[in-house]
Amino acid sequence: MCWDREVPAIPEPTTVVVDDGVEIAYRHWPGEGMPVVLQHGFVVDTYVNWVATGVVPALLGAGRAVVGVDARGHGRSGKPHEPAAYGEARMSRDLQAVVDHLGVGAYDLVGYSMGGVVAVLTAAVDHRVRRLVVGGVGSAVVELGGVDTRALDRELLAGALAADDAATVTGDAAVLAFRRLADAVGADRRALAAQARSVHRGPVDLAAITAQTLVLVGDADPLAARPQVLAAAIPGARLELLRGDHVGVFGDRRFAPAIAAFVGRATDG
């Protein structure tokens, strides 16, 4: 992760209690007009995915208001341990509840990996989304209905997260990497295991998306294989490839500027 902007002050989170009683935390940076809403990927939170990678600084530098939502099971949001409480469709409803709470009439939406699935599910039903950036996912959204479990077995991942001792986790390098990341950020691993067992599977009505869309992925990301399939399924979507794998793409200095340039200023058409 590399960027050259000053780290913005981190506002204290505000919480919204959604319809199943879970508290969803979000952070709001004021700016012009409609906000850019950010939904992070699996294990991490708003800070790790969007502040530390330079995306929030780039958006604030463009004068945009920013709202970063911590998905349930992550960051400062509630962390139930039952798989039935999870899934990206449930997270999409949480995100829309935050937007409703803010009284927003229109917004731009950016999602990465798990958050990318949340973002397309949201944009397919909420036509308040004006512009959409989807990262860290590819053809699996079209072919499987979500993140690519062909490249990352969800049961192996759930088992690795639930293991008491990380030293017992062997085999799949991607699974081990997620376990190490969870330990590094002090995540609630039982909550993450519940989400791993509940990833979205089923049709996503990508043709219903009316937002201008950018698919932004790393050219060596195994979890975003064949992103052109995803871009082709979203009306008018544009694909941009950057250098790097699922994490390494954040080190491409074009990543944050590409997002800021695509969503533009709040008053852009």
Counting other chains too, the contacts that 101-106 makes at CB distance below 8 Å and 24 or more residues apart are 101/16, 102/28, 102/35, 102/67, 104/34, 104/35, 104/128, 105/34, 106/34, 106/130
> For residue 89, what are the CA distances in angstroms to 93, 95, 116, 144, 156?
6, 10, 12, 14, 22
Average the pLDDT over 191-215 and give the result.
Answer: 97
pLDDT in tens, 33-89: 899 999 999 999 999 999 999 999 999 999 999 999 999 999 999 999 999 999 999
Distance CA 25, CA 228 (A): 33
- This prediction's pTM: 0.96
pLDDT in tens, 10-30: 999 999 999 999 999 999 999
Distance CA 191, CA 89 (A): 16
Q: Compute, in degrees rounded to 10, the torsion defined by CA atoms 50, 30, 106, 78.
A: 60
CB of 63 closer than 8 Å to CB of 32: yes
DSSP 3-state of 19: coil
Residue 258: how many CB atoms within 10 A of its CB?
Answer: 19
Average the pLDDT over 145-169 and give the result.
Answer: 93
Distance CA 130, CA 41 (A): 21
For domain 14-144+203-263, say whether CATH 3.40.50.1820 is its number: yes
Query: Residue 71 corresponds to which tokens in the numbers above?
Result: 């998905």
Distance CA 201, CA 269 (A): 34
> For residue 21, what are the CA distances in angstroms to 17, 89, 122?
6, 16, 20
In the predicted structure, residue 3 carries a pLDDT above the cut 80? no
Average the pLDDT over 207-224 and give the result.
Answer: 98
Residue 191: how many CB atoms within 10 A of its CB?
Answer: 22
Distance CA 209, CA 133 (A): 12
pLDDT value at position 267?
75
